[in-house]
Amino acid sequence: MARPSKKSTSAGAPRSGGKVASQRVADLAAASRILAAQGVVDGFGHVSMRHPAAPDRYLMARSLAPALVTPKDILEYDLDSNPCDAAGRGSFLERFIHGEIYKTRADVMAVVHSHSPSVIPFGLVDVPMRAMFHNAAFLAAGVPVFDIREKFGATDLLVSDGAKGVALAEIVGQHDVALMRAHGSVACGPSLEAAVFRAVYTEVNARVQHWTIALGDGAPISALDLDEGRLADAVNLTAATRAWNLWRTMVRGQVKW
């Protein structure tokens, strides 16, 4: 693990954790476009990646619609979510989601925040999201719900500062996915590819669960149990690269490899 990068004492901005391979920067830009193409994000939402050589830094696009992100739009942040060199470019208001999760979870290498429509209802009613099929096995460990009102009262629902990011990270805990009441969700992964896979299949799983509830008309649902989820997710963490390679190829003409 690399040594923590020290803040610059001259410019007042955090010092960069170092150069990142251009292919990985392009992959991060592609991840934004993949999530848009898969219906997980639209004009809003974002994906980040921990700096490969500096665990106390992460990379994320400037404030921009995900489908428009290019490698030139990628900024570097410290874990307090201060940009290292914004060069006049704006940052997402909810970047604190990412920084605070990275602080508490050394195993997390990428984070997706989205407002995917099929997922949102599960944060509004007392119906837990469950793992409906093997590609969503990571959900079998449970999906907690972050209700921003519980600590902050009436807000605009945005995780727009460090304190709100800390509260969200506490709810996420060791889970891979957490819902945000009346807002959206976060998905975490041990790699960029895994986090994108989980974000996509959280949305797919939500649709399948809606259909299953309607079809069952109150009948018991035979979802994955904890052991099945653990075993299937171990396979998915390897197999997810197949989906990533497909999705990455689909946006190849949009984002340079």
Q: Kindly report, residue by residue over 158-187, the tens digit of the pLDDT.
A: 999 999 999 999 999 999 999 999 999 999
The residue annotated as part of the active site, out of 76, 94, 100, 203, is: 94
Q: What percent of the chain has a predicted confidence (pLDDT) above 70? A: 95
Residue 10 has pLDDT above 50, yes or no: no
CATH architecture for segment(s) 22-250: 3-Layer(aba) Sandwich (3.40)
Residue 13's pLDDT is 86
Mean per-residue pLDDT, 78-105: 97
**What's the pLDDT tens digit per position in 209-227?**
999 999 999 999 999 999 9
* 85/63 Cα distance (integer angstroms): 14
* DSSP state letters, 152-203: H-S--S---SHHHHHHHHHHHTT-SEEEETTTEEEEEESSHHHHHHHHHHHH
Residue 254's pLDDT is 73
Among this protein's residues, is 94 annotated catalytic?
A: yes
Residue 5's pLDDT is 44
Residue 8's pLDDT is 42
**What's the pLDDT tens digit per position in 86-98?**
999 999 999 999 9
Among 4-18, 23-37, 115-129, 181-195, the least confident range:
4-18
What's the pTM?
Answer: 0.93
Residue 129 has pLDDT above 60, yes or no: yes
DSSP state of 125: S
Of 33, 34, 88, 38, residue with least CA distance to 65: 33
